[in-house]
Amino acid sequence: MHRCALSEGQYGRCRARKNEKGRIICANYGKLTALMLEPIEKKPLRYFFPGSRILSVGSFGCNLACPFCQNHEISMASPASAEYREISPEALTSLALRCRDQGSIGLAFTYNEPLVGYEFVRDTARLAHSQGLKNVLVTNGSAHLSILEELLPYIDAMNIDLKGFSSAYYRRLGGDLETVLAFIQRAAKDCHVELTTLIVPGENDSEEEMEREAQWIASIDPKIPLHVTRFFPRYRMQDREATDVGRILRLKVIAGRQLAYVCTGNC
C-alpha cells in the first residue's frame, strides 16, 4: 500500500519486504511465528462453516501501526527480532490436510497482516485449493487491488478489519480509508466477507460514525456480517479503559437498522 522507496538492503515500514539486489522481495516468505488449530469463530467468522476448525498461521510484519494491536509482538516484529520456523507451501498444505481428522477445513492466514507477505499466501492457498481445502484471509484490507486479484481465485472467506469510518482515524493508524473500502467492495463480489470494527473509546465509538459505516456496508450488501468488537487495553493504549459493554450493544442496534447480521465481540 505504501509503495516504499527502498535503498539496497533496506526494509519497508511493514518490516516484511526488502530491497535485495534492486528487487523488492518478501522477507517473511514461509517464516511462521504462529501455528494453531482453532475454531473458525475465532477469526472471527460466524457464518462460514460454523462449528468447524481451521489451521491458523501467521508470520511477522504489518503495514499499519495500530496502537491497540493485540498481536503486536509479531505484527511489529522484524526478521531480526521475530522467532519463527520456516516452512514451504507444500509442507504447510500437507499439515493442513492431516488436520482434517481433527475437524479442520483448511488454512487461515492471520495474526499479523498476511498481505505484507502475499506471495506466500498466494502460493500456499493455490496448493491448498487444489487439494480441496478452504482458505481464509484475516486482513486489514490495506492493499492495492492488483494483489487482491492474485489471491481471490484461491480465497474462500475473509474477515476484513474496517477500523472505523473516518479518513482522519485511518491516517493516525498509518492507513487510508478509501483503499480499504475499495478492497472490501471488490472482495465481496467473489468471496464470503465478514467485517470487524474494534470500538475504541473516544476514537471511533460515536453513533453517527457507526450509522455511516453501516449505511456504506448495506450499499454493497446488507447481508455482509459486521462484528462490533470491544476494545481492551493493549500495546500502546494501556492507559485507556475497556469499551463499555453498553456502548457496544448500542452500536449493534444502530448497525442493525441497516444490516441483517451484526455480532458483538469480546463482551
Helix, strand and coil content of the chain, in percent to the nearest 5, comes to 35, 20, 45
CA angle at residue 110 from 200 to 128, to 5 degrees? 155
pLDDT by residue for the chain (267 residues), tens digit each? Answer: 567 776 676 776 878 787 777 788 789 999 999 999 999 999 999 999 999 999 999 999 999 999 999 999 999 988 889 999 999 999 999 999 999 999 999 999 999 999 999 999 999 999 999 999 999 999 999 999 999 999 999 999 999 999 999 999 999 999 999 999 999 999 999 999 999 999 999 999 999 999 999 999 999 999 999 999 999 999 999 999 999 999 999 999 999 999 999 999 999
C-alpha cell at 28: 517473511
Question: Where do the structural domains in the chain lie, given as residue ranges?
Answer: 29-265
Domain 29-265 in this protein, CATH class: alpha beta
pLDDT score recorded for residue 78: 84
Strand 23-26 and strand 34-39: the pairing is: unpaired
Peptide bond between residue 39 and the one before it cis (omega within 30 degrees of 0) = no
pLDDT score recorded for residue 7: 67
pLDDT score recorded for residue 23: 83
pLDDT score recorded for residue 1: 59
User: 231 and 68 in contact (C-beta within 8 Å)?
Assistant: yes
State if pTM tops 0.85. yes
Residue range 205-247, pLDDT digits in tens: 999 999 999 999 999 999 999 999 999 999 999 999 999 999 9
User: 133 and 98 in contact (C-beta within 8 Å)?
Assistant: no
Q: Cα dist. 203→5, 164, 173, 246, 247 in Å?
A: 31, 9, 11, 16, 13
d(CA 179, CA 109): 20
Q: Cα dist. 50→39, 103, 194 in Å?
A: 8, 11, 13
pLDDT score recorded for residue 182: 98
Q: Cα dist. 93→102, 126, 128, 253 in Å?
A: 15, 10, 6, 41
d(CA 137, CA 157): 6
Residue range 187-206, pLDDT digits in tens: 999 999 999 999 999 999 99
User: 194 and 202 in contact (C-beta within 8 Å)?
Assistant: no
pLDDT score recorded for residue 2: 63
Find residue 160's DSSP bridge partners: 139, 195
d(CA 137, CA 159): 6
Give 155: exposed, middle or buried? Use CB within 10 Å, 0-12, 13-18, 19+.
Answer: buried
pLDDT score recorded for residue 36: 98
pLDDT score recorded for residue 25: 76
User: 177 and 170 in contact (C-beta within 8 Å)?
Assistant: yes
